[in-house]
Copies of this chain bind each other. A is one copy, B any other.
């Protein structure tokens, strides 16, 4: 998506762009096929708005005005996202929209089903295998790697250089499940919220889809009592769901069989530097900063990357090297902050059910947000409802966290003083 978005931006600037995509044309893909459901928040919307796509995208979204926590006893607890909420959108729909818009630019061309096999970073050129198994080499002024966490472009750009690189996996993975629409086409749970089943070491999420269905992500550890490797039979799966996600059991047909058949996806964090090579090769999106998906910022941050890169190229029209440097200097501190926040957020998600302190702090945070308005914005709100750069959001949240701790200490002292006074009387 970030690749198609960037192609559109650069096409508007008059650049000739060819996009080679390993996958098939999203416009031709069967619309009933399963497609990942993503959260589009203010950052992504703002980037789409810059290209005049705000209205068009609204045809494909399901607005979610907050998160709905499901307890094991069937109880529900709602917490609002605030200003704007988050929009659920199918990956395929947004991809198709972007490809369609980009194709309307006369200088933009897409080549699908064509896999990148290498990059010559100094020419620069990129080589591909087309759907007939033929290899082709394409020379260009700049090669952009928007090819994901296991980027082939990155590998060739960094080969034999002093490149910083780290990949780190969670000991948790996830599987997708599907809750179909009711017979009358309606949603079988609330259709305007993000559903969340936090259970400590295991958890589940569900996004509403336009067609009345939900896409669920079931997050489990790989090993241990509730781990993927312990779930071997239909009975194992159903027993786990009956215990932890009882309200979902009647909603997923053939729950056990489906769950066992589905592939398990990993959760990886990728961090690397440099992001570019001499004004010739540059990375965007997961290729330079994959993060855990729980903050729903993967796509949003990738669209911000594309926007920043397009802006940087416009800012230095005759010096691509300066443009690529400007781009990575402006983006990397922010995506590093996003990685930090994504790590913390996963720990917090796990603790939501266990730690009253986490819940209390979040409640105070929300309360202060309402009382102090613009002068106090919770971290989640800054990430989701604003375009405040991630690094600044993290910095501000750290300061606010300290204030909350100070208030808590003061409150504790006041309480103790009150007790002492009460006892003396």
Which A residues fall within an 8 A CB radius of B?
162-169, 222, 266, 268
The reply to whether A165 and B165 form a contact with Cβ atoms under 8 Å apart is yes
- Most B Cβ at <10 Å: residue of A164, A167, A266: A167
With CB as the reference atom, state the residue of chain B lying closest to A164. B168
With CB as the reference atom, state the residue of chain B lying closest to A173. B162
- A220 → chain B, closest Cβ, in Å? 14
**A-B contacts, 12 listed (Cβ < 8 Å):** A162-B169, A162-B222, A162-B266, A162-B268, A163-B167, A163-B169, A164-B167, A164-B169, A165-B165, A165-B167, A166-B166, A166-B168
- In the bound complex, residues from chain B placing their C-beta under 8 Å from that of A268 are 162
- What separation, in Å, do the CA atoms of A266 and B162 have in the docked complex? 8
- A277 → chain B, closest Cβ, in Å? 16
- A334 → chain B, closest Cβ, in Å? 21
- A403 → chain B, closest Cβ, in Å? 29
Please name 5 further chain A to chain B contacts, defined as beta carbons within 8 Å, in addition to the given A162-B268, A164-B168, sorted by A numbering: A162-B266, A163-B167, A163-B169, A164-B169, A166-B168
- A113 → chain B, closest Cβ, in Å? 22
- What separation, in Å, do the CA atoms of A162 and B268 have in the docked complex? 8
- What separation, in Å, do the CA atoms of A166 and B167 have in the docked complex? 6
- What separation, in Å, do the CA atoms of A26 and B164 have in the docked complex? 33
- What separation, in Å, do the CA atoms of A98 and B318 have in the docked complex? 59
- A376 → chain B, closest Cβ, in Å? 37
With CB as the reference atom, state the residue of chain B lying closest to A161. B169
- In the bound complex, residues from chain B placing their C-beta under 8 Å from that of A166 are 165-168
- What separation, in Å, do the CA atoms of A163 and B168 have in the docked complex? 7
